[in-house]
């Protein structure tokens, strides 16, 4: 048992766990819904579960049945949380999908949703009336699975039910499906991962122990709930253990990241999770004058996960916010994915993640060793040690296990591992063999800790040498005029010389031709400093690059777009 926290009943359903929390402390705070310019809406446990019962009854009256997959497409809304819980109470399966942002063309959104509907077997679209007209074509489509569109947050209230309400037998069992997660994609969420009640509860129990969760903790997050880090870590984890969680809008955070820090200060938040790009975004975009009166000393753990961790991002974050009470030892790291419910590894809380100054030359040959004096160095940040219930190994191209300090693909076996991608046996067979999930991520194990260095599919092979695009991106982002964190590197096949050439797209606000020429020279020089010849440089305006739903750079999509729309400088 963690300090002051209950033991999770692994033979139970999520709804029963939530109902138990409401029975234990009906007037305690459960979720704080934070919205810019408004007083936070504070859900108590009793109010949350009673509202969930109302929604469950409403959905049942509209024809939703146990086992139906309910796709949820909403912006930040206080009633989203009981609606999600009400779907689960009914024995249906919630699947949170991304709300289309203004930059995504409606046709792209529909194409992505159509792919998900086909692969995931979506039965109901629960959304806002504003999206209704664009989604009507999905209903009753020949051969389609979608039976209807519902607007539950805008319709009449369901008949009242007391907090003691309990749904009749819904056919759900601990080994049965409780939610559908989607691995992150660039124009839609493509690979559907079905997770059972048992897998989720077992994972929460192990991860809560790994981060030393305790009864005085309070989570704060702006992460989207369609991503495993937001859904599992910032939503399901605190709810299962009965600690409060403060949830902000991802769109509002992106536009004004100070909101997140204000919420931490006002709510005395103790734990949060961030993708690596968020550290840069806040360090760059938050103005000093906006930080007056802000204190961050309540934080005990800020976990970096979902993309390779940059030491420079951590350093810049601490430099920016140390005088406001942020301590270096609160930084943490994790390696996580939807296919394992969430975390595989976690760094030791209160210690800060370990770093390893690696020889770039050796890494290019698939070997980790400390850099020698004068060698080009890549500072690798550890994602920590395996959490209970997880195993991992590093394998070569033939999926044979490699020893420590060798770079290869990370394979994972876990008590909370998914059974396969829903309705996609071909993709499942590619990545799931003998109980092991082959992640496509490259990394190495050193002294019992795991270091992620990139994606297998993104690696460049230039003149027989492995080049990690992350190294190129880090180098060129230091060039004056390049917007930090807004660069994507990729390879272009040169048939004449018989190898790949390195290319890079960088975002910049610079438009003067003479200044762009100077920038290009500095970019080429930055490449030479890490022994990479950059053959093509593409300049793009701010916010041109496309990232995935989790903030990871979409190298394939950006490569295709650059070749089509931009001319190399």
Helix (H, G, I), strand (E, B) or coil at 217: coil
CB contact set of 306 (below 8 Å; sequence gap of 6+):
227, 229, 275, 276, 336, 550, 551, 552
- Go through the chain and tell me how many residues it has: 569
Residue 567 Cα distances to 493, 505, 519, 553, angstroms: 17, 10, 16, 20
Secondary structure of residue 233 in the 3-state scheme: helix
Q: What is the CA radius of gyration of the chain?
A: 24
Of 533, 514, 513, whose CA–CA distance to 523 is shortest? 533
State the Cα angle at 11 between 8 and 15, rounded to 5°: 70
Residue where the block lists tokens 């770039």:
360
Distance CA 544, CA 554 (A): 12
Question: Which class is 352-457 in CATH?
Answer: mainly beta
CA 423 from centroid of its chain's CA atoms = 23
Instruction: Note the pLDDT of residue 562.
Output: 85
Phi first, then psi, for residue 560 (nearest 5°) are -60, -40
CATH superfamily of domain region 14-255: ANL, N-terminal domain (3.40.50.12780)
Identify the pLDDT of residue 143: 65
- pTM of the prediction? 0.87
Residue spans per domain, the chain: 14-255, 352-457, 459-565
> Residue 305 — φ and ψ, nearest 5°?
-160, 175
Query: Residue 498's pLDDT is what?
Result: 64
What is residue 188's predicted lDDT score, i.e. its pLDDT?
Answer: 42
Instruction: Compute the Cα dihedral for 44, 261, 305, 339 and give only its sign.
Output: positive
Q: Domain 459-565 falls in which CATH fold?
A: GMP Synthetase; Chain A, domain 3 (3.30.300)
Blockwise average pLDDT, block size 10, the chain, 569 residues: 80 94 97 95 97 94 93 95 96 92 65 73 91 78 80 68 49 85 58 91 97 97 94 98 97 94 98 93 93 97 90 94 97 96 97 95 92 92 97 96 97 93 88 94 96 88 78 90 90 72 92 91 90 90 78 78 82
- Note the pLDDT of residue 173: 85
Distance of CA 140 to the CA centre of its chain: 33
DSSP 106-163: HHHHHHHHHHHHHHHT--EEEE-GGGHHHHGGGTT-TT----EEE-TTTSPPPPP--T
335/435 Cα distance (integer angstroms): 19
Instruction: Report the candidate in 293, 297, 356 with the shortest Cα–Cα distance to residue 328.
Output: 297
């Amino acid at each position: 048992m963690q300090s002051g926290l209950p033991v999770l009943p692994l033979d139970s359903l999520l709804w029963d766990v939530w109902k138990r929390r409401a029975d234990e402390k009906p007037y305690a705070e459960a979720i704080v819904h934070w919205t810019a310019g408004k007083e936070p809406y504070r859900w108590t446990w009793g109010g949350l579960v009673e509202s969930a019962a109302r929604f469950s009854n409403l959905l049942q009256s509209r024809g939703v049945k146990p086992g139906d997959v309910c796709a949820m497409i909403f912006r930040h809304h206080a009633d989203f949380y009981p609606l999600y819980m009400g779907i689960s109470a009914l024995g249906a399966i919630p699947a949170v999908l991304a709300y289309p942002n203004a930059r995504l063309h409606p046709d792209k959104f529909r194409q992505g949703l159509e792919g998900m509907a086909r692969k995931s077997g979506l039965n109901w679209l629960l959304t806002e009336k504003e999206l209704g007209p664009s989604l009507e074509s999905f209903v009753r489509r020949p051969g389609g699975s979608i039976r209807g569109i519902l607007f539950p947050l805008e319709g009449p209230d369901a008949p009242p039910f007391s907090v003691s309400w309990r749904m009749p037998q819904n056919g759900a069992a601990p080994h049965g499906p409780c939610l559908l997660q989607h691995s992150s994609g660039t124009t839609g969420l493509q690979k559907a991962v079905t997770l059972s009640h048992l897998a989720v509860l077992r994972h929460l129990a192990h991860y809560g122990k790994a981060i030393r969760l305790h009864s005085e903790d309070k989570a704060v997050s702006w992460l989207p709930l369609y991503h495993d880090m937001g859904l599992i870590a910032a939503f399901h984890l605190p709810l299962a253990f009965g600690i409060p969680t403060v949830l902000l809008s991802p769109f509002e955070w992106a536009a004004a990241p100070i909101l997140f820090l204000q919420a931490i200060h006002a709510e005395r938040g103790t734990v949060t999770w961030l993708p690596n790009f968020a550290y840069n975004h806040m360090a760059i975009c938050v103005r000093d004058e906006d930080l007056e009166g802000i204190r961050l000393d309540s934080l005990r753990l800020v976990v970096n996960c979902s993309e390779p961790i940059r030491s420079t991002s951590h350093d810049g974050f601490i430099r920016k916010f140390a005088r406001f009470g942020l301590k270096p030892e609160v930084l943490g790291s994790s390696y996580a994915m939807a296919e394992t419910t969430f975390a595989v590894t976690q760094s030791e809380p209160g210690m800060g993640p370990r770093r390893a100054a690696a020889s770039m030359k050796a890494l290019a040959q698939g070997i980790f060793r400390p850099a020698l004096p004068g060698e080009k160095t890549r500072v690798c940040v550890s994602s920590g040690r395996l959490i209970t219930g997880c195993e991992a190994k590093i394998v070569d191209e033939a999926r044979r296990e490699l020893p420590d300090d060798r770079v290869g693909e990370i394979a994972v076996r876990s008590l909370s591992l998914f059974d396969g991608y829903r309705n996609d046996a071909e993709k499942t067979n590619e990545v799931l063999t003998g109980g092991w999930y082959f992640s496509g991520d490259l990394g190495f194990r050193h002294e019992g800790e795991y270091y992620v260095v990139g994606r297998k599919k993104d690696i460049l092979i230039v003149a027989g040498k492995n080049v990690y695009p992350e190294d190129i991106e880090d180098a060129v982002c230091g060039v004056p005029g390049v917007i930090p964190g807004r660069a994507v590197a990729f390879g272009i096949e040169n048939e004449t010389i018989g190898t790949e050439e390195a290319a890079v797209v960088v975002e910049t606000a610079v438009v003067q031709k003479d200044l762009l020429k100077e920038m290009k020279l500095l970019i080429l020089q930055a490449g030479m400093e890490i022994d990479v010849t950059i053959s093509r440089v593409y300049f793009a305006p701010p916010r041109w690059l496309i990232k995935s739903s989790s903030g990871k750079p979409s190298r394939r999509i950006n490569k295709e777009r650059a070749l089509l729309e931009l001319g190399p400088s």
